[in-house]
Structure 1
Amino acid sequence: MEQQGIDALRQRHQELSEAQPRLRIRDRAQRLGVSEAELVAAGCGVTTRQLGGTAQQLFRDLATLGPVMALSRNDNAVHERHGEYQGIEAEGPMGIVLGPDIDLRMFFGAWRHFYAVTENGRESIQFFDKAGEAVHKVYRTESSNAEAWQAFIARHAVDGVAPVTVERVTAAEEADAPADGEAFRSHWRGLKDTHDFFAMLRQFKVSRLGALRTAGNDLAQQVDNVAVETVLQRAADSGLPIMCFVANRGIVQIHTGPVHKLVRTGPWFNVLDEKFNLHLNTEAVVSSWVVNKPTVDGWVTSLELYGASGELIVQFFGERKPGKPELPAWRALLESLCPVALAA
């Protein structure tokens, strides 16, 4: 984007901000027909410093910052987790963070633009993909190491802020159903680990939602869209620890533990706990599924919510780790949602 275009964008952004001051930057970008990264790079409502190097280099250095708030989102779910970046592995195209509080899986292939951002006095480090969409954000808190934060920016900042060139991200071609339904179902029933599920989808070139529709009720069955509120409320009432996964094309962010404070705000159903916040737009949920996968530790069930384009919005599991069976209370909770018995 040339300077004339940047100036015009700033003017349009200013007019929109004055007319609708409560809009968040992601929504302002959508209204203006640009990417969020373009607004950040143009300094629209924010102060921006561009960060150099690779996403892997920046991630490996996040451990210096102390307690922060990590945020990952998609269009209809926002996942916020307070803690420290620990157990970081970020060398190649995939990375992980395995701290007791912040738990991430990163897919760095499309990550392109990185910034230190200040908006209304709030400081953050923001990562965007090549389409200019936000992948992950790290927010400074009162508990963060202030000196380390400034040192991080000093180490990685470059002179000036380059205009963003947006590149299209193309999704892999996927069918609405596998070519051989029986072979697909047989493969599913032979899974040994939940992490093998994505590889199965790629092998059969089928979409995630197409797979659920094909598998049969013993492996996946659609349930009422109020199921998510039922599950979270019963988990909160009983103290049942859960796992909550929110993903976009560059990252998966995971919360493990109990949930407590549940609040409805318009279309958004929220978990508002001290270390974990979830904001879920339930009006965007088109279908909800209980999904049943075999593993070497026994069957593992999840509640999965999908949007209008077949995109996965959020997943919930009972708390578990490899080598341990699924929590019986979680299994019973999800079975109670199902009109047809699950495979066991």
Structure 2
Amino acid sequence: MTTDTISLKNRWAAFRQQNPKARIRDAANQLGVSEAELLVTGVGETVVRLSGDFRELLKQVTSLGYVMALTRNDALVHERKGVYEKVSFTNHVGLVLGPDIDLRLFMQSWRWGFAVNENERRSLQFFNAQGGAIHKIYLTEQSNLDAYETLVAAFRTDDQSDSLLVEAPLEKPVDQADDDIDVAGFQASWLAMQDTHEFFGLLRQYGVGRQQGLRLAPEGHAQLLSMELLKQVFATAAERTVPIMVFVSNPGCIQIHTGPVNKLVQMGPWYNVLDPTFNLHLNETLVDQVWLTKKPTADGIVTALELFDKDGQNLALVFGERKPGKPELESWRAVVNDTLAQPA
């Protein structure tokens, strides 16, 4: 479907006048279009369309220096400042492995790219075929503006039209009935895992949805928690300065923070981490379930918190800081166990 750009541009202008603080994603939802369709109405003014191999573009983002990486889904926004380092690709799967910017990239989902100037706040923004945001890179005061202009010029496309042909939203996957699953086999394979990454293959092997898999987990290896317990885990980790890992994902990108969290702030339905280099914004109303999971590895049990929306889609994972080949931090395990042991 193609957007009626002039009409949409006028509707968005009216919306912004009435809602000056509204974010573009929220505006898109209320106007019944995708975020990319709204953004493209600014082509020729504040927006430049980009094209080419976005893998090559991402390799050059290192030249921008210190930036802010943003990855989000409907319920969470993950913002991390740093430099894009060790950018590599194997076919359509990419890695960014700096100490601050840590990403997993799935380039089949990356359809549209734009350079955006919002009141002199410059960014690179990428979207899927449905017009949903995958990843954004914002310049900071320490970024290299000349390198940004060079990169935009190199990937600027001749097509600077202000309309977009987006695809219909993807259908949500439907889980098999529990009765059709080899639950005993699935549980035995869970207990035999040597690495947490084996879990994805396990789900495929037995035809199990991720949230469904937690429901069918071996006894003592998955437990449903409340949002309040999740927040208490964050608070206890902050109080004890225990470093954690926070993974936020959408179909095209996983963004990871590793380190402590400090400033925790509730703002209406949003639970926030507001630290100098890491911000997390969690809309509690859009998180349907929080699970505590325990997965065996060659280095012992790995404990995680897993967040899901009402459609059973995984939104985020929270671990203690951990490197492959090393056991889980005892301090992280104590944070979780002590939180669960508190009286309700």
Q: TM-score, normalised by structure 1?
A: 0.94
Q: Which residue of 2 aligns with 1:97?
A: 96
Distance 2:8 2:277 in 1: 36
1:11-35 Cα offsets, whole Å, 9 max, x none, are 1111211122221100111111111
1:141 correspondence with 2:146: no
Match 2:228 to one of 211, 226, 229: 226
Q: Which residue of 1 aligns with 2:193?
A: 191
Distance 2:317 2:232 in 1: 14
Deviation at 1:192, TM superposition (A): 1.2
Distance 2:205 2:142 in 1: 46
Q: Which residue of 1 aligns with 2:304?
A: 302
Within-5 A mapping of 1:1-344: 5-43=4-42, 47-162=46-161, 163-168=163-168, 169-175=170-176, 177=178, 179-338=181-340
User: Structure 1 6/261 Cα, relative in aligned 2: closer, same or farther at 3 Å?
Assistant: same
Paired residue type of 2:296:
P
User: Structure 1 283/115 Cα, relative in aligned 2: closer, same or farther at 3 Å?
Assistant: same
Retained in 2: the 8 A contact 1:223–1:338? no
Q: Residue 153 of structure 2: SS of its match in structure 1?
A: helix
Retained in 2: the 8 A contact 1:227–1:288? no
Retained in 2: the 8 A contact 1:69–1:80? yes
Distance 1:108 1:190 in 2: 32
Deviation at 1:91, TM superposition (A): 4.4
Kindly report the root-mean-square deviation, in angstroms, between the aligned alpha carbons of the 2 structures: 1.8
Retained in 2: the 8 A contact 1:46–1:119? no
Distance 1:217 1:64 in 2: 50
Q: Residue 22 of structure 1: SS of its match in structure 2?
A: coil
Deviation at 1:217, TM superposition (A): 3.9
Gap runs ≥5 in structure 1: 340-344
1:68-110 Cα offsets, whole Å, 9 max, x none, are 0000000010000000000101241111100010000011112
Q: TM-score, normalised by structure 2?
A: 0.94
1:218-250 Cα offsets, whole Å, 9 max, x none, are 111112221221111111111100000000011
Distance 1:186 1:30 in 2: 43
Deviation at 1:329, TM superposition (A): 1.4
Paired residue type of 1:53:
G
Retained in 1: the 8 A contact 2:125–2:133? yes
Distance 2:334 2:44 in 1: 49
Distance 2:76 2:44 in 1: 24
User: Structure 1 234/70 Cα, relative in aligned 2: closer, same or farther at 3 Å?
Assistant: same
Retained in 2: the 8 A contact 1:60–1:90? no
Retained in 1: the 8 A contact 2:232–2:339? no
Paired residue type of 1:243:
M
Deviating more after overlay: 158-167 vs 320-329: 158-167
Gap runs ≥5 in structure 2: none
Number of residue-to-residue matches in the alignment? 338
Distance 2:176 2:114 in 1: 37
Q: Residue 90 of structure 1: SS of its match in structure 2?
A: strand
1:154-197 Cα offsets, whole Å, 9 max, x none, are 11112342432112334555326461110110111111111111
